[in-house]
Amino acid sequence: MGFYNIAVGTIILIFGRRLFWIFVAIAGFLAGLGFSGIMLVNQPQWLHVLLALAAGLVGAFLAMLAQGLAFGLAGFFAGTYLAMILAPAFIMINAGTLQFYILGAGAVGGLLAFLLMDPAIVILSSLVGAGAIVGELGLSPPLSVLLFIILAAAGILVQTKVIGPPKKKA
């Protein structure tokens, strides 16, 4: 999945706000895949992928129908995904509390995205995109953190200054 995660991470990093429903679908897929890997350890791989696809499809569907709810869901997906990729690098957590940590991070991400909407989506999509890219490179932890910060900052800058917000329909 290495090349695909880097490609998808780059798309989210640059176009997360513009392609909001795609961001929600990808974040849902990544969060679903990671969470199913924790919750369904001894289950077949196809079940993990099926649950991840379901999470991504539900997210994309909600993004098209109910934008406010979708912002919260996108934040939840982004928070859980970020917790799954960042927790091992920064915090020593036992397996029993990892699930609560991930769900808590998802709840915080969801609340922030729901309350702040547009800025939160720019920040969360930049963080998820940077995480997807850095997670596949296999760099040392200090280099990974540095690259993560640089990519996230670049994503925020590109989405706010270069690309700008989506055009509103008349």
What are the pLDDT digits (tens) for 70-117? 777 778 888 887 787 776 665 666 666 777 777 888 888 888 877 777
Cα separation of 113 and 98, whole Å? 22
Residue with tokens 């917790």, as numbered in its chain: 83
Q: How many structural domains compose the chain?
A: 1
Per-residue confidence at 61, pLDDT binned at 50, 70, 90? confident
Reported as half-sphere exposure (CB side, CA atoms, 13 A), residue 18 has a value of 15
Query: Is 16 inside a domain boundary?
Result: yes
Per-residue confidence at 154, pLDDT binned at 50, 70, 90? very high
Query: Is 79 inside a domain boundary?
Result: yes
Query: Is 75 inside a domain boundary?
Result: yes
pLDDT of the residue at 155? 92
Per-residue confidence at 167, pLDDT binned at 50, 70, 90? low
Query: Is 117 inside a domain boundary?
Result: yes
pLDDT of the residue at 10? 86
* Residues ≥6 apart with Cβ < 8 Å to 33: 48, 49, 51, 52
Query: Is 168 inside a domain boundary?
Result: no
Cα separation of 74 and 106, whole Å? 9
Domain that holds residue 113: 2-163
Cα separation of 74 and 87, whole Å? 19
Q: Which helix (H) or strand (E) holds 4?
A: helix 2-15
Token couple for 136: 């596949």
pTM of the model: 0.67
Query: Is 36 inside a domain boundary?
Result: yes
Query: Is 159 inside a domain boundary?
Result: yes
pLDDT of the residue at 69? 75
Q: CA separation (Å) from 110 to 67, 107, 145, 146, 163?
A: 13, 5, 23, 26, 24
Highest mean pLDDT among 11-15, 21-25, 145-149: 145-149
Query: Is 169 inside a domain boundary?
Result: no
